[in-house]
Amino acid sequence: MGDPCRIVAFNDDEFSHYLFFAGFLLLNLVVMFAQVTAPDRARLPIVDWVLLTANALFIAAGVVANLAFEQIGLDLYVVAAIAALSVILLWCQ
């Protein structure tokens, strides 16, 4: 394999994963800490609960599909860390 192929393979297999995880972590951290600093105590209507649940199931299916069909590396640890942090922040409220 030549240098151009190694560069493409690195960008596809390694760098893209790190870039995705950095974006995933930062997006989730911003949303979770925004909720902690300015909580909305109003009750959600049932439509919002349904949409939120559907969104959560869609994202969970994507995570399961990703973890099921690829070699597990950093994926599991990043998802587990975000899930653990969200549970901790939920308990602290």
The predicted-structure confidence for 13-61, as pLDDT tens digits, reads as follows 778 888 888 998 999 999 999 989 998 888 889 999 999 999 999 988 8
Which domain range does residue 81 map to?
A: 3-92
| Number of structural domains in the chain | 1
Q: Which of 16, 26, 23, 13 is nearest to 70 (CA)?
A: 13
Is residue 78 within 8 Å of 21, Cβ to Cβ?
A: yes
pTM to 2 decimals? 0.67
Distance of CA 6 to the CA centre of its chain: 28
d(CA 92, CA 85): 11
pLDDT value for 1: 67
